[in-house]
């Protein structure tokens, strides 16, 4: 069965960087697009970014464009999110999600349990 395990969250000061990772298993990782979705405490879901199956296409939400970079390593079945210039508004639970297909415009089909990022001085 699909398993997605996020890591890398923690407390970080405003303006600093953080890199999240997601280890995938139970499916052919190289055949599917992958998403990051976040949820601020007590708030709704916000889509962050998506990468295509081969890493050739990426899309970002407006609030993170230019600051965050999504990437993948198919040989290691790993998804990453490099987050720069972090602000308090980036405080959230970050979920990794497997897409329903290989491209970037397919839905989030399976979700990990999330990793919590807190931006605070």
Footprint of other proteins on 84-103 (CB under 8 A): 95, 100
Strands (E), 8-87: 10-12, 18-25, 34-39, 45-51, 58-60, 68-73, 78-83
Q: Alpha-carbon distance 74 to 55, whole Å? A: 9
Residue closer to other proteins by CB (options 90, 104) is: 104
Two structure tokens written together for 54? 């081969």
Residue closer to other proteins by CB (options 27, 59) is: 59
Among 12, 20, 24, 50, binds other proteins (CB under 8 A): 50
Burial of 83 (0-12, 13-18, 19+ CB in 10 A): buried
Q: How far is the CB of 112 from other proteins (least distance, A)?
A: 7
Q: Alpha-carbon distance 60 to 121, whole Å? A: 26
Answer for the pair 112, 97: CB distance below 8 angstroms, yes or no.
yes
Among 8, 9, 55, 61, binds other proteins (CB under 8 A): 61
Footprint of other proteins on 27-46 (CB under 8 A): 35, 37, 44-46
User: Which region, judged by CB under 8 A, interacts with other proteins, from 11-19, 23-31, 72-80, 104-112?
Assistant: 104-112
Chain residues binding other proteins by CB under 8 A are 35, 37, 44-47, 50, 59-62, 95, 100, 104-105, 107-114
């Amino acid at each position: 069965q699909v398993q997605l395990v996020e890591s890398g969250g923690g407390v970080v000061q405003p303006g600093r960087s953080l890199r999240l990772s997601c280890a995938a298993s139970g499916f052919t990782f190289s055949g599917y697009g992958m998403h990051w979705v976040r949820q601020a405490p007590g708030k709704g879901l916000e889509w962050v970014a998506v990468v295509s199956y081969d890493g050739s296409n990426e899309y970002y939400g407006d609030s993170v464009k230019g600051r965050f970079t999504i990437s993948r390593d198919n040989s290691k079945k790993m998804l990453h999110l490099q987050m720069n210039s972090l602000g308090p508004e980036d405080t959230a639970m970050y979920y990794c999600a497997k897409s329903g297909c290989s491209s970037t415009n397919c839905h989030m089909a399976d979700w990990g349990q999330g990793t919590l990022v807190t931006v605070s001085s």
